[in-house]
Structure 1
């Protein structure tokens, strides 16, 4: 197979690490994986992180489900990861682009999360306008928390937060600038959240 040029594949990838703040962290991680239906994404785990690839809706659906199932243990959980689309040569898992659009993970349990995200519209000289537009979108959606160096704070129910992230990921790229990277860091069940 010839190498792909930037932006020619619609496959979305998410490389992440899940960190339960408990000595039983392996049980939390394996439990979340067991409870999450990952059959619509390509997935590989190494000794540092896990990557999932596939259609955008399924990648975001699986990412949210993994975070939610880990959170349902009641343990303080941190998740840190990078979403990407349009990366040159990103073809592993292309077969998963043939999946239909039916989401397999539909748990609607409410769960507060505090998170931060950063957008990197690659090769787009007008990148700051794109970022400001998506921050304004977060304010309109009611999930914006705070401005900070190198990121923007996003918080609220996990479903609303992930809906915003997927929406921002969609709108921050264009036909001309298809390569987009978005980093997300998330804290769930933290003692510092108080009664949130």
Structure 2
């Protein structure tokens, strides 16, 4: 079984935040592939279904971002899963908007959700890094990721989430490069991607 985790914060006030793009991605997978309705378990919202022939559990931790690993660790122990069975989708400020990368293992690059994951399950899990860009001023990162996507962002966000959901069956493969290729091919049919280098975006200060 594969455990696919979207990172984000619970609550309607956070639903459109850049920090919640992991939630958005798994929601689209659940919708597209007719997974079961979400239910509460492991301090998370979970939904089960199949991608191809593989049984899959989708998870959205409800512990807030900084404690995400608690819910994931609990589910892994219950289902007797290894870290290698886990795929995590999350926001990445070191990638430009509309860019994405896959990665296995490695550090956490200051991401609080990944810090919690590493504390509870180690570092050897699969990652889908979804680029959201970064603010001009380094001290505005928190305000930026907790800010909402703008209307203009939908031009790249909707096609990217659609492409991720379309290619989701390949997330069950041992090596995820086929997933990356499938997403890129789907995106190429919609709109060109931006440059690799993240473009600074001015973050609005919260009152």
Normalized against structure 1, the TM-score is what?
Answer: 0.29
Higher relative contact order (CA 8 A, sep 6+): 1
> Higher strand fraction: Structure 1 or Structure 2?
1
